[in-house]
Structure 1
Amino acid sequence: MIDCVIIDDEQHAIDLLLEHISQVHFLRVVGTATHPVKGLQMITDLKPGLVFLDVQMPHLTGIEMLKLISKDSHIIMTTAYKEYALEGFEHAVVDYLLKPVPFLRFLKAVNRLWTIHNNNKPVAEQDHYVFVKTEQKGKLLKIDSRRINYIEGLSNYAIIHMDDQKKIITYLKLKELSEHLSARGFVRIHKSFIISLSHLTAVEGNMVRILNEERPLSIGDAYKKEFLEFINTKMLTAPPDHTTN
């Protein structure tokens, strides 16, 4: 578990980060502050592993605060201004997030921190496994999360579609599954679907293709913007053409 402090002079920005953090099982908020001086004292007292730090604040900017925060606390910077990114990275911050922060971009940043937190060691073999309740009372099933293609929500239960076409019924809701699997490379794309990003093979308009699955899955309107923003971070683009006639 990584303790977090959020420092931002805009409460609505804090509220958005609180919502994102609530969906990540290895993060815990221990304090928030809208005044940078109060936030600096909070960091000194609580010694959090992670600080979400706004750049533009009155009295003391985030860049100025970077020089005062102990190196024991990792920093993820947030701001509406792209031009501050370079200076932030010069101070070895974990990542730099543009407001309003999309969840998938947030998830990419905190997963990077999780790797750093674990000293960049490969995830232990047992950490790939999860246990789920099945339709049989009292029975728990051990599943290798790397073999999950996608999860389909149906009312109060879910169907886990495995890479060998096996289907596992579990009495969990998608919200619960999403919270536990978000740090393992899974993302919710629809009110009825969570997919494994490692098994995603193509995005076709409002549909996605999953490895070894015949039917495409729909991208829900409520999830489309954040999902496509994440896909864009992985997009390869051609370098500018500087040739002249």
Structure 2
Amino acid sequence: MIDCVIVDDEQHAIDLLTQHISQVHFLRLVGTATNPVKGVVMITDLKPGLVFLDVQMPQLTGIEILRLISKDSHIIMTTAYKEYALDGFEHAVVDYLLKPVQFLRFLKAVNRLWTVHNNARMISEQDHYVFVKTEQKGKLLKIDSRRITYIEGLSNYAVIHLDDRKKITTYLKLKELTESLSSRGFVRIHKSYIISLSHLTAIEGNMVRIVNEDQGISIGEAYRKDFFEYINSKMLTPPPDGRVN
């Protein structure tokens, strides 16, 4: 679902776009404004995925509003004047619709955005998955890295612990796993352990606590400095001496 806001100083133009939006299952209208200044406030507060923005309005033009609002909202510009299209596309708008906006032309514009939206979501979801070699020869297992709580190194293989207490054995060394997972919020704290920072619940002296695990995990001497420097950087009120260990 994509939340929409309409900013247009003509109520009949808003009414027409409202009717179009109501006929598209993946669009949801969350606000409208005939006053462009109020429209800027509405966009800032609601943070919609899509804004239908008129070009010519009193007080603020659509092009001026583009410079004021977050780039997180996609923009479809609407106007009766073709000559404004170039200005709009210079600001990376999704599309440019001429008034009165015809439904088929409207549908083409929002369908293009829906395709981009879905592709971005799929890529984001795929980024969380990793593949590991298992005990069974030739078998690869797909794992959602967000479910990994910690990884235990044992000689030439490792045991991956998941948030439901399941374990997966893989023939990878901790060094290889550290290099692959460091960008996903994992950190090595011991020669035998990598932990997920998102599943870290507490630090007790030289021990860390992991969600759903009864036993703590020791912080190795060789990893203490880097680990506590990171933890200190996340503290709301650092200790006077700058250390927590």
Q: Please, what TM-score do these two structures have when normalized by structure 1?
A: 0.49
Q: Please, what TM-score do these two structures have when normalized by structure 2?
A: 0.49
Rg comparison, structure with higher value: 2
Larger RCO (CA within 8 A; separation ≥ 6) = 1
